[in-house]
């Protein structure tokens, strides 16, 4: 049987979900024996490859880079997993939404508190442009499975990965469905 | 006292006359999810999570305010009820700003627990992300309206147990919110006794202790139960 092609992504999030991924400790060695990690912040790969089996997507859709990447990922991935609360609900990344649209958020962050020549960051092609609203992943592309938690505990991540590697649909019971 | 017999999920249950379906179910060890209900306070019937099906009636009834009737056949967890409960919880999450990961009540929140209980792995509704404001003018407590689900437990506990009636509800529909006195800052309230019963009653992190941060909320509900038992049953010792 061909090895499962696994990708992990870091969109609008704090990387805490990836830290929790690393918390799977010695099971990571076993995991490395069963999958090919084809794209990840933990691997030096520039282009998202074709025919990925499973993608864990950390973070919400917050800027135009996130939006572009998640659409590519959806096209090239069989099973897309919303990985952690920011991907599932918007969570901390979406805390800016009540402040208003992108311009109001930037003003509030860069101009209001600035006291020496405050300016907005603007480097087209380098600094991604903020979207007006932060959205959970499933609001932008269809999601196959939700893995909540801020961050999801390592044991919960392992449970989901073990099921996906075995070709089963992961099942999370009540104790593993907790947000936060 | 006359006894009524009924069935809940096919299980024969006996209840005292005048008891509600919710009380009869709890006595029989059958859990019906609730949010606005708190033992010792008048039932409000507002959150609709305790809706049950009663044979012979096409309408769903809230178990917390529906009295038992002889021969009643009640179902508490049909497919339809489970679907509605999940929708209710999803709507509550979409309507406010419930960010469990950075909330004072993380790990000690009835809304968070309900989401898990009804199997909510994501929210199918669009988040409104309202900007509802926060009142931190009180010395000991604060209220973050973004986390309020309008269960009115604070209103009822303040009125019915403390007798101060500092809290009430203002506004209509999605603009409703709990207020102190005549919509004055809580810290300037002339009626608030700073007893903290509203904090003990709050199911979420909306009413919090000043100075507490993420996941630090500890609520000792037994204090409320003690007061209610003392008053209603004249039992002062636990």
Is A179 touching B (CB cutoff 8 A)? Answer: yes
- Domain spanning A4-97+130-169: which superfamily? NADH:ubiquinone oxidoreductase-like, 20kDa subunit (3.40.50.700)
Task: Supply the pLDDT for residue B226.
Answer: 86
The pLDDT of B118-130, averaged and rounded, is 97
**Phi, psi (rounded to 5 degrees) for A92:** -65, -40
Q: Which residues of A touch B119 (CB under 8 A)?
A: 174, 177
pLDDT for residue B236 is more than 90: no
Backbone dihedral angles phi then psi of residue B231, each to the nearest 5 degrees: -80, -45
> What is d(CA B53, CA B83) in angstroms, rounded to the nearest whole number?
13
At B235 the pLDDT is: 84
B123 and A CB contact within 8 Å: yes
With 60 as the cut, is the pLDDT of residue B94 above it? Answer: yes
Average pLDDT, chain B: 95
Percent of chain A with pLDDT over 70: 99
Tokens at B67, concatenated: 């009295």
What pLDDT band is residue B238 in, cutting at 50, 70 and 90? low
> Residue B222's pLDDT is what?
85
The helix/strand/coil state of B65 is coil
pLDDT (mean) for A24-32: 97
- Please state the rounded mean pLDDT for residues A1-22: 95
Average pLDDT for B195-216: 95
Q: How confident is the model at residue A1 (pLDDT cuts 50, 70, 90)?
A: low
Chain B contact for A32 (CB, 8 A cutoff) = no
pTM of the model: 0.94
Q: Is B54 helix (H, G, I), strand (E, B) or coil?
A: strand
Of the listed ranges A14-23, A97-106, A120-129, B17-26, the least confidently predicted one is A120-129
How many beta carbons lie within 10 A of that of residue A139, not counting itself?
17
Strand order of the sheet with strand B73-75? B11-16, B3-8, B73-75, B51-54, B61-62
pLDDT value, residue B220: 85
pLDDT confidence of residue B231: 83
What is the per-residue pLDDT across B11-42, written as a single tens digit (0 to 9) for each?
Answer: 999 999 999 999 999 999 999 999 999 999 99
What is the reported pLDDT for B156? 97
| Overall average pLDDT of the B75-103 stretch | 98
Asked if residue B126 lies in contact with residue B94, where contact means CB atoms within 8 angstroms, the answer is: yes
Nearest by CB: A174 against B117, B122, B131: B117
pLDDT tens profile A107-145: 999 999 888 889 998 899 899 999 999 999 999 999 999
Contacts of A61 (CB under 8 A, 6+ apart): A11, A12, A67, A70, A131, A134, A135, A136, A137, A139, A140
Beta bridge partners of A80: A55
Mind listing the domains of chain B with CATH numbers? Answer: 3-77 (3.10.20.740), 83-232 (3.30.70.20)
Chain B residue closest in CA terms to A82: B122
């Amino acid at each position: 049987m061909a090895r499962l092609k696994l990708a992990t992504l870091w969109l609008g999030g704090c990387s805490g979900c990836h830290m929790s991924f690393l918390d799977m400790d010695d099971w990571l060695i076993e995991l490395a024996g069963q999958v090919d990690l084809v794209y990840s912040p933990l691997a030096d790969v520039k282009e998202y490859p074709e025919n990925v089996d499973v993608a864990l997507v950390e973070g919400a859709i917050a800027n135009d880079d996130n939006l572009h990447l998640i659409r590519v990922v959806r096209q090239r991935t069989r099973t897309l997993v919303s990985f952690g609360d920011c991907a599932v609900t918007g969570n901390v990344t979406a805390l800016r939404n009540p402040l208003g649209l992108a311009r109001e958020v930037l003003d509030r962050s860069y101009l209001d508190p600035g006291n020496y020549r405050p300016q907005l960051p603007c480097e087209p092609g380098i600094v991604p442009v903020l979207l007006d609203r932060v959205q959970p992943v499933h609001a932008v592309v269809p999601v196959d499975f939700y893995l909540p938690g801020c961050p999801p505990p390592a044991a919960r991540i392992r449970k989901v990965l073990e099921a996906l590697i075995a070709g089963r649909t992961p099942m999370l019971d009540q104790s593993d469905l907790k947000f936060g | 006292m006359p006894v009524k017999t009924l069935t809940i999920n096919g299980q024969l249950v006996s209840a005292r006359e005048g008891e509600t379906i919710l009380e009869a179910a709890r006595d029989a060890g059958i859990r019906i999810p609730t949010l606005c209900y708190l033992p010792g306070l008048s039932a409000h019937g507002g959150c609709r999570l305790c809706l049950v099906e009663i044979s012979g009636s096409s309408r769903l009834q809230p178990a917390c305010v529906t009295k038992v009737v002889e021969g009643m056949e009640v179902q508490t967890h049909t497919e339809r009820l489970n679907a509605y409960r999940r929708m209710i919880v999803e709507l509550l999450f979409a309507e406010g700003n419930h960010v469990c990961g950075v909330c004072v009540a993380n790990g000690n929140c009835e809304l968070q627990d309900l989401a898990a209980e009804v199997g909510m792995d994501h929210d199918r509704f669009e988040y409104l992300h309202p900007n509802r404001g926060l009142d931190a003018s009180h010395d000991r407590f604060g209220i973050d309206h973004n986390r309020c689900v309008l269960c009115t437990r604070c209103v009822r506990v303040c009125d019915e147990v403390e007798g101060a009636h500092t809290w009430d509800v203002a506004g209509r529909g999605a603009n409703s919110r709990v207020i102190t006195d005549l919509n004055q800052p809580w810290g300037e309230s002339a009626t608030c006794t700073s007893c903290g019963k509203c904090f003990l009653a709050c199911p979420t992190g909306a009413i919090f202790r000043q100075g507490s941060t993420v996941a630090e909320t500890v609520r000792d509900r037994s204090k409320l139960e003690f007061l209610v038992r003392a008053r209603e049953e004249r039992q002062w010792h636990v």
